[in-house]
């Protein structure tokens, strides 16, 4: 996607079809919000960057949020179909509904009695109460940033890993909010929904019920490539997102967040990417000049 001029001591990357050799400091796989955070940090630090993405370019301006188009600004409801069209299942959902030939209200199944039966071609060994409903992701230049909802809450201290101190989290969140242009944030008081009756009514009701409530809750998948402070088999990357046992291989994305949270994860993943990029740029971790950053996991 993007390439800046060559520098000394760079990685030599052979394109799959061997058309050309690329010389860059950092190869970033995945151009979603996290890959873009790495790219932004490295380019600002005068590193050459090459980003690749398995998905198509869906807008003239790379990675644009598709909801910005005039059509959806006028009427946001049809945008739900765009999201559904872009999401690919990554796993088989644990849908526990039997195949219905009758109207659902006329048909009930005793699930305890019929455990083990294949239901709607789903895996009968998956317990719907314990397993995820099914993961989905989209492939596009800009990643899921092409259609996400842009809610950017900070994780509550009870949801965050304490491998990173509260002061460090605060600084990382400040920078992440700046990169994602979150409002309101430090120094910016405007709220995008301050004139929305619907948002204000719902927020007031919820805040009355739950005084501590800042943002809102939303289930997201975390922890597939968990960050940890020890290489004891319970984590994949170290506290700076470097894969245990590798010198110059880093991961980014929601998979790093070690604990489940009720808050949306992207701001936190961007914060972790900032921390990781800073570490690489200031040379505290790797011994080599070239780096590979994978952000294509969720």
Ligand X SMILES: Cc1cc2nc3c(=O)[nH]c(=O)nc-3n(C[C@H](O)[C@H](O)[C@H](O)COP(=O)(O)OP(=O)(O)OC[C@H]3O[C@@H](n4cnc5c(N)ncnc54)[C@H](O)[C@@H]3O)c2cc1C
Positions touching ligand X (CB under 6 A) are 29-35, 52-55, 83, 87, 137, 139-140, 143-145, 147-152, 220, 253-254, 264-266, 269, 295-296, 298
Q: Least distance to ligand X from the beta carbon of 245, Å?
A: 21
CA distance 271 to 162: 14
Q: Least distance to ligand X from the beta carbon of 182, Å?
A: 10
Cα distances (Å, whole numbers) of residue 53 to 58, 138, 192, 239:
12, 11, 31, 26
Q: Nearer to ligand X by C-beta: 150 or 292? A: 150
Q: Least distance to ligand X from the beta carbon of 62, Å?
A: 11
* CB atoms inside a 10 Å sphere around CB 121: 8
Q: Nearer to ligand X by C-beta: 269 or 279? A: 269
End-to-end, the C-alpha distance of the chain in Å comes to 21
Q: Least distance to ligand X from the beta carbon of 72, Å?
A: 13
Q: Least distance to ligand X from the beta carbon of 196, Å?
A: 15
Q: Least distance to ligand X from the beta carbon of 98, Å?
A: 28
Supply the angle between the helices 166-179 and 33-44 in degrees, to the nearest 10.
90
Q: Nearer to ligand X by C-beta: 119 or 147? A: 147
Q: Nearer to ligand X by C-beta: 94 or 254? A: 254
Question: Please, where are the H alpha helices in the chain?
Answer: 33-44, 70-74, 79-86, 166-179, 197-209, 266-281
Report CA torsion sign: 71, 76, 82, 87: positive
Q: Least distance to ligand X from the beta carbon of 8, Å?
A: 27
* CA-wise closest residue to 141 among 52, 34, 204: 52
Q: Nearer to ligand X by C-beta: 98 or 226? A: 226
Q: Nearer to ligand X by C-beta: 119 or 297? A: 297
Omega prior to 184 cis, within 30 of 0: yes
Report CA torsion sign: 162, 167, 171, 177: positive
Q: Nearer to ligand X by C-beta: 94 or 266? A: 266
CA 245 to chain CA centroid, nearest Å: 24
């Amino acid at each position: 996607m993007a390439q800046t001029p060559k520098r000394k001591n760079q990685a030599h990357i052979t394109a799959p079809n061997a058309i050309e050799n690329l010389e860059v400091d950092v190869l970033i796989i995945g151009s979603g919000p996290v890959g873009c955070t790495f790219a932004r940090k490295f380019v600002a630090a005068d590193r050459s960057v090459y980003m690749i993405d398995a998905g198509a370019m869906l807008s003239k301006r790379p990675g644009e949020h598709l909801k910005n188009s005039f059509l959806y600004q006028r009427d946001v409801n049809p945008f739900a179909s765009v999201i559904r069209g872009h999401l690919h299942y990554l796993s088989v959902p644990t849908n526990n509904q039997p195949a219905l030939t009758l109207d659902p209200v006329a048909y009930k199944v005793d699930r305890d009695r019929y455990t083990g039966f294949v239901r709607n071609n789903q895996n009968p060994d998956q317990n719907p109460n314990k397993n995820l409903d099914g993961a989905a992701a989209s492939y596009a230049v800009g990643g899921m940033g092409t259609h996400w909802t842009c809610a950017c809450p900070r994780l509550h201290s009870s949801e965050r890993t304490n491998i990173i101190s509260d002061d460090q989290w605060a600084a990382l969140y400040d920078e992440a909010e700046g990169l994602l242009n979150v409002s309101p944030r430090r120094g910016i008081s405007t709220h995008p929904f301050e004139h929305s009756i619907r948002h204000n009514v719902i927020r007031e009701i919820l805040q009355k019920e739950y005084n501590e409530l800042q943002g809102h809750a939303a289930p997201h998948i975390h922890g597939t490539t968990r960050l940890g402070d020890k290489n004891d088999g319970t984590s994949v990357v170290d506290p700076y997102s470097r894969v245990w046992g590798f010198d110059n291989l880093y991961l980014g994305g929601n998979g790093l967040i070690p604990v489940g949270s009720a808050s949306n994860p992207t701001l936190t993943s961007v914060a972790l990417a900032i921390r990781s990029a800073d570490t690489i740029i200031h040379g505290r971790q790797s011994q080599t000049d070239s780096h590979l950053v994978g952000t294509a996991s969720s």
